Homo-oligomer: A and B are copies of this chain.
């Protein structure tokens, strides 16, 4: 045991390398690569050791291979008194913060610490590295106190590494002022959804092969009363249909309705049929794809529509599920307090009246997450937008009043339906009703 600080480096996981025919060495991982050129025998030996085991960091300097570190190929573990305290794990080339380290540091408002396996990891969407904390002393230091601890050499080193990684910032810095508008959950999500990382699976993958699909293409039915919906004759619809450009240019958000001439059950049937019916019987060979009029990533169609009926001629008030295969509604409940809350929240979102029909869009998350990684939820959000515009255009062509809502309360939906939000939860809301008087197009 020694009370000294030691630093050992090794090539991080997921990096591969090789030698070109003219004996130039290179390393690569994901979109990054570094050409090392020709290496001396001692350099070659060090490179091979770095791939195999932790090596004292000073050997990089001795062998003139500090480039490996700057380009982000090495993870570095700091040891104090013989114990591993933390490891700096690059996610790409280093972008160390320039300038002198300020005395008064705080954690970046974007840094999050969480458990990853058996260790805690500190990461930030603004950093080029993660820091893995092996020791509870390092955890305690996340508070970054200045006082007595300052004479602990390992803490000084830790502070410097967090600063260089952008994980800690000057207390007096302008981080909060400069970007008052990104919330931490938003920036973290953005980076994890939009930046493929070494060692983190991204996009469509076959990791789920062999696992059962968490949800079949056809949702199991609710056991309430079934309400058959009218099917429009599509050839008749086509004959009287306005042109695409006419509809696109005419579309407007409308959130007032004609209460004396509310929407009808037939209109709701036609609307749902044109937007969101299943056009085929799903294949049953495992993957279980369907087709609907709107496009959906991977043809998985994770979205389900739950119409909340407030005022529709021919339909009872309450919450329903739309079965897109059989084109009918399954009644879940009447105008319970939770259902009323969904309508109130929708009215608050537009600042106007409660819609005649509120279409709550829910996702069966597992259908997408089973196949897509890291960007699955972001894909679901885009699918909701695709469905929104489909609804807007069909409503415009049908002379109805459409309005997509900007946000909603998925807790209220879970309470109204009794669904487990981890399995299926609401992700979008669309308000619909009859055109207000005088607004005929």
Most B CB atoms within 10 A — which of A183, A245, A408, A411? A245
* CB–CB B195/A410 < 8 A: yes
Give the docked Cα–Cα distance between A378 and B75 (Å). 34
Contacts of A409 in B (CB 8 A): 31, 194-196
Give the docked Cα–Cα distance between A113 and B107 (Å). 11
Q: In the assembled complex, how far is the CB of residue A245 from the closest CB belonging to chain B, in whole angstroms?
A: 5
Contacts of A410 in B (CB 8 A): 190-191, 194-195
* CB–CB A428/B382 < 8 A: yes
**How many copies altogether?**
2
Q: In the assembled complex, how far is the CB of residue A114 from the closest CB belonging to chain B, in whole angstroms?
A: 5
Contacts of A113 in B (CB 8 A): 112-114, 142
From B143, B244, B294, A243 is in contact (CB under 8 Å) with: B244
* CB–CB B31/A366 < 8 A: no
Q: In the assembled complex, how far is the CB of residue A340 from the closest CB belonging to chain B, in whole angstroms?
A: 11
Contacts of A223 in B (CB 8 A): none
Give the docked Cα–Cα distance between A192 and B186 (Å). 9
Comparing A16-24, A43-51, A62-70, A248-256, the segment that makes contact with chain B is A248-256
* CB–CB A186/B186 < 8 A: no
Contacts of A127 in B (CB 8 A): none
* CB–CB B238/A243 < 8 A: yes
* CB–CB A194/B427 < 8 A: yes
Contact digits for A176-189, partner B, Cβ 8 Å, 1 yes 0 no: 00111111111111
* CB–CB B406/A244 < 8 A: no
Q: In the assembled complex, how far is the CB of residue A59 from the closest CB belonging to chain B, in whole angstroms?
A: 31
Contacts of A262 in B (CB 8 A): none
Most B CB atoms within 10 A — which of A107, A388, A407? A407
Q: Name the residue on B nearest A135 (C-beta).
A: B143
In the complex, whether A85 has a CB less than 8 A from a CB of chain B is: no
With A238-B245, A245-B274, A341-B31 already in contact, the answer to whether A382 and B379 are too (CB < 8 A) is no
Given pairs A181-B369, A188-B188, A234-B249, 12 additional interface contacts (CB within 8 A): A181-B366, A186-B193, A189-B189, A238-B246, A241-B245, A241-B246, A243-B243, A248-B394, A253-B295, A383-B385, A385-B385, A389-B390
